[in-house]
Amino acid sequence: MATVPLIAPSEDFRRELRRRGGERASRCYQCATCSAVCELAPEGRPFPRRQVLLAQWGQGDQLATDPAVWLCHQCNDCTVRCPRDVRPGDLMQVVRAMVIERLAAPAFLGRLVANVRSTWPVVLGAPLLLWVLLLGLTGHLGVPPGFHAYDQLVPHWLIYSVFFPVAAFVLWAAWVSGRRFWTLLGSVGPPRKGSFLASLVPVFGEISTHGRFSNCEAGRPRRWGHLALLWGFVGAAVTSGLLVVALYGFGAQLPLPLDHPFKILGNISAVLLVVGGVILLINRLGDPQKTGASTAFDRFFLTVVLLVIATGVLAEVGRFFFPAAVACSIYIVHLSVVLTLFVTFPYSKFAHMLYRTLAMVHERMTG
């Protein structure tokens, strides 16, 4: 006689799902329209119909081991066509946020960012308070005499003393969380075959062009916003690395002239960031059926990104046109929101870069 599988719904999971905006899951009657219209789902393993059913039944453990949760790019083609207004794309977004919190290391930071609706003063305020205290303790809290460059306000050694330990911590947290996720993915389904690195290279190619977004309809405009932000951040990171080489390898002096190649690269990156941020902001203010519902978790990440972009641009412009006190204040705020973006990488929507990459590699290695 065949064994009947035991399903133990988790009421805690379902309660948390409803609290975060996934209450529409109960409307689904499994018509499969969502899976039928999804252009991203692999043949033979369609989503998100199965994932909606698992969410209805409170199967958080199974959702945490399901790569399809991350292969979904929230195109919202399924949401636009859902006859019950379940909004499967939004539901998958909520599930992703819950998985990020579940895998977070350390766990308390995952909870802090997951509940950002009530904890945002801490998440945004603590880095700002840290910079103010550090500048005060080192005697740099004030407008420098003859101000013309920000290293007069915040010495490079102070920036390094903050960001290098933070970068080490973030890498550790991302490694632990990613390792947990990779282990969970491998615990079910077909075995992985081949080389991780050999599968990672084409995945990077897909990510660098956001090729899968081209298959979407409702969410296709988001592709250009994501692409501009991606390459804007890459350009900014490369520029920062080149500046360190220029400063300590070739004795360059800051600020660099506007026609310096590194300065040009930095300004192009800034333009990409502004364009990407504006596109995503306009998208977020559009029709929720096409753009997706906005949760506190989503809004927090977009707000931090927009603050990084706005304060960075204003700090650059302010050095030339604003009073010194205003420019210096903007620069301190910029450093604080950049620190917030760094620290929350493994716990915010930024973590999609980590988990989606691993899910796409897993997809290739399992055929």
- Weakest mean pLDDT among 132-136, 192-196, 255-259, 332-336: 255-259
Q: First-to-last CA distance in the chain?
A: 33
**Residue 2 pLDDT class (50, 70, 90 cuts):** low
Predicted confidence at residue 31, as pLDDT, reads: 92
**Residue 289 pLDDT class (50, 70, 90 cuts):** low
Radius of gyration of the chain from its Cα atoms, rounded to whole angstroms = 22
Helices and strands per DSSP (H, E), number in the chain: 17, 0
Predicted confidence at residue 329, as pLDDT, reads: 94
User: Among residues 41, 183, 5, 220, which one has the least CA distance to residue 51?
Assistant: 41
Predicted confidence at residue 4, as pLDDT, reads: 58
3-34: b or e for each residue (b if 16 or more CB lie within 10 Å)? eeeeeeeeeebbebbeebbbebbeebeeeebb
Output 189-193 pairs: Cβ under 8 A, ≥24 positions apart.
189/366, 190/366, 190/367, 191/366, 192/362, 192/365, 192/366, 193/365, 193/366, 193/367
pLDDT at residue 246 is higher than 70 = yes
Predicted confidence at residue 290, as pLDDT, reads: 65
Predicted confidence at residue 291, as pLDDT, reads: 67
Cα maximum dimension of the chain: 87
Domains of the chain: 11-103 (no CATH), 107-365 (1.20.950)
Output 226-229 pairs: Cβ under 8 A, ≥24 positions apart.
226/276, 226/280, 227/276, 228/272, 228/273, 228/275, 228/276, 228/279, 229/272, 229/273, 229/276, 229/277, 229/280, 229/305
Q: What percent of the chain has pLDDT over 70?
A: 96
Q: What percent of the chain has pLDDT over 90?
A: 50
Segment 47-103, tens digit of pLDDT: 999 999 999 888 888 999 999 999 988 888 898 899 999 999 999 999 999 999 999
191, burial (CB in 10 Å: exposed 0-12, middle 13-18, buried 19+): exposed
Predicted confidence at residue 263, as pLDDT, reads: 85
Segment 7-51, tens digit of pLDDT: 667 788 888 888 888 888 889 999 999 999 988 887 778 899 999
Segment 98-120, tens digit of pLDDT: 999 999 999 999 999 999 989 99
Joined together, the tokens standing for residue 286 give: 């559009």
99 touches 20 (CB < 8 A):
no
- Averaged confidence pLDDT in the chain: 89
Return d(Cα 347, Cα 134) in angstroms, integer.
25
65 touches 188 (CB < 8 A):
yes
**Residue 6 pLDDT class (50, 70, 90 cuts):** low
**Residue 319 pLDDT class (50, 70, 90 cuts):** confident
